[in-house]
Structure 1
């Protein structure tokens, strides 16, 4: 960072379909990006579609201005007729779109075409093959209708990982994506002693998270009688009901506690020996960065796109089916105290180093300056 406030006075819009818990990790990333911009001296302004939780969850943005817009027609499309006008009225220097496949992509693209100003797109893993294979006809219509134009018009697309950069290149034809990881929260003090045999999942309840396989693996794993698995999160009613049924059949060592935010979420992290994310598809999961900042190592798949965790000894690799998840659970629960504390230290060191807010903010300072300098593509 070449000055204390490299983006001083700049108004940067953060546009997403969600400014609430319904956005899962994208919502958490937008929250974090607001803090990044404030640290750089910019004024962040949040724009999102209105949903059943957006009014209540807006408080998490603090004094950052949040505008939400009523949706007309199908919620999956997210058409908000007032959105483009509001983007222009905000007199932005740059617009940063978080997430794709819905009307905010078209609104952002129109704003960029009309203003000529800097325009950044963060797909947040939504070009991963597991995602693009679902709802193919809807995504084909979105590509033809507006996404290809939006991708072409962006000053640049932002990839969370090198794997996502390859996904973006395959889908958009653009090889110039900037790779910048998400930043995690400030690291906490190291655990004073090894944690009890308690494994935790915190996040969205969705098929891609592979939680039914996790619960089945827990039933297969050889473990101490006092070992526990706690799952916390939110999701569509059908997905939650399926998880609740699996948990009920798994016995008293497994518990689903519903959504966990703020102090409740921190209490779960503070009690966890490991967190678990056996996901089929991720961009760069904020839940893992939260875990590392709390000094809690993780069990995760390669699709979490955080090879740093495996390389540093802060994570255990697992597969996608119960037979390949269960051995990872057994390994996590069998570490000697010294080995476990070394993993916890490695996790915290990642949070304090390559994924720290100052490190990531310095990368974004240069990226936003580049976007504003070159403006939107014709």
Structure 2
């Protein structure tokens, strides 16, 4: 008997090699999903545009869905109502999946009702072999993530999540660190290692006024943070490090752009007042679309002081705009350090101050060279076209239509 009965089932039931329907489950299709929204949106778009595949995206409806739906263009979007915000309980989800009749289901994220719905869909096959699904964990099995709300996740694991993960035909990791976390969780499924991607193109955002222009002198350099305002992002450490480093360098300002989560912005603003650095730190609120591009293009450098990440899209975006980066090793992008596109920052106050000091000491030409190296990395290693091709190859293998691609790990 096969070690992976789901794979054997998919081999027996695969349809025409030139037709493939995939349904993607996402927690949200809006800004509430953070960088995961852009990952799912771009992956689905490039899969449809460059391969013989139809993708349906199913997400839980929220207050931002009507506005952010436009970001998905012509993608096939299906929204379901949730009766529990945190768990994403959506009773109509199973009916929606049945009506779409996908060959393969791809779940993005774990620890919610989406996991329950995926297993139910897999088993609801008229008593025959289960339908195949795969799971992208998006950093949610990393040690920091598991420790956060630890007991809730232990209970969720017993209740439904381990079953969801253990029965997946394949688990998607975005890098080797995440693959190691998947194995450390005790999972023995096949794992595909495929990074997140980023679009690299010309931008005229330098001709637009950045959101901090009214509050900062034009001759001051800008260090940009963009993302959720959450304790996991290490911003309180960054601010304390900024206090230490800034007393030696007055030519920079720190711009913190992002949406508040759990009242953390208020805590950070209070910290800037306590540290007496409020005149060199600006909070802009969330930035999307052209405003986001404008921020990247008008910043002089980018910082991500996270305590835990899967693979942060914002760093890839900064590199795509040729911006030098300060980041922790927990961002899981070691190629940035190896290729001279990033300055390493340890997740301590002294580590933040030291990394900031290195940044402040760089001449303009050195900053520009670091940014060029980052852009080269984005183009060479993180092209969405190549990433979609790799994922398509995994889909074909899961359905028994091809040999396993090189991105697969079996031990």
Normalised TM-score (structure 1) = 0.92
Alignment counterpart, residue 239 of structure 1, candidates 264, 270, 273? 264
State which of 376, 379, 391 in structure 2 corresponds to 1:352.
379
Q: Secondary structure at the match of 2:279?
A: coil
Distance in 2, matches of 1:298 and 1:109, equals 40
- Contact preservation (8 Å) 2:228, 2:260: yes
How far apart, CA to CA, are the structure 2 residues paired with 1:288 and 1:336?
A: 21
Asked if structure 2 preserves the Cα contact closer than 8 Å seen for 1:96 and 1:120, the reply is yes
- 2:229 paired with 1:215: no
Query: In structure 1, the residue corresponding to 2:303 is in which secondary structure?
Result: strand
Q: Aligned to 1:234, what secondary structure does the other structure show? A: coil
Instruction: Determine which of 25, 33, 50 is the counterpart of 2:61.
Output: 50
| Cα offsets for 1:123-164 (capped at 9, x unmatched) | 100001111112122111211111111112111000011010
Q: Deviations over 1:15-47 (max 9, x none)?
A: 111111111122221122222212333222111
Aligned residues: 367
Q: Does 1:60 align with 2:71?
A: yes
Is contact 2:341–2:373 with CA below 8 Å preserved after alignment?
Answer: yes
Q: Specify every segment of 5 or more residues in structure 1 that has no aligned partner in the other structure, as ranges.
A: 1-5
SS at match of 1:76: coil
Equivalent positions of 1:1-378 (< 5 A) are: 9-41=19-51, 42-72=53-83, 74-115=84-125, 116-174=130-188, 176-188=190-202, 197-222=221-246, 223-249=248-274, 250-373=277-400
Question: 1:201 deviation in Å?
Answer: 0.4
Worse overlay, 229-238 or 336-345: 336-345
Quick one: structure 1 residues 145 and 176, their matched pair in 2 at CA, closer, same or farther if it must change by over 3 Å? same
CA contact (8 A) 2:199 2:383 kept: yes
Cα deviations across residues 48-71 of structure 1 (Å, max 9, x unaligned)?
Answer: 112221222111111112112111
State the alpha-carbon separation in 2 of the partners of residues 92 and 175 from structure 1. 22
Q: Check the 8 A contact 1:247/1:256 in 2, yes or no.
A: no
Q: Structure 1 residues 16 and 356 mapped into 2: Cα distance closer, same or farther (>3 Å)?
A: same
- Give the superposition deviation at 1:196: 6.0
Secondary structure, aligned partner of 1:14: strand
Once residues 55 and 157 of structure 1 are traced to their aligned partners in structure 2, the CA distance between those partners, rounded to angstroms, is 31
- RMSD over equivalenced CA pairs, Å: 2.2
CA distance in 2, matches of 1:248, 1:263: 31
Per-residue deviation, residues 271-321 of structure 1 (Å, max 9, x unmatched): 112110010110110001111111112110111000111111101110112
Q: Distance in 2 between matches of 1:312 and 1:340?
A: 14
For 2:185, what is the secondary structure of its paired residue? helix
Structure 1 110/158 Cα, relative in aligned 2: closer, same or farther at 3 Å? same
Change (3 A) 1:272 1:364: same
Q: CA deviation at 1:255?
A: 0.2
- Using a 3 Å threshold, how does the CA distance of structure 1 residues 292 and 102 change in structure 2: closer, same or farther? same
Shift in Å at residue 109 of structure 1?
1.5
Unmatched tracts of structure 2, length 5 or more: 1-15, 207-218, 402-411
Question: Aligned-pair distance for 1:226?
Answer: 2.7
- 1:3 aligns with none
The 3 A distance-change label for structure 1 pair 70 and 189 is: closer
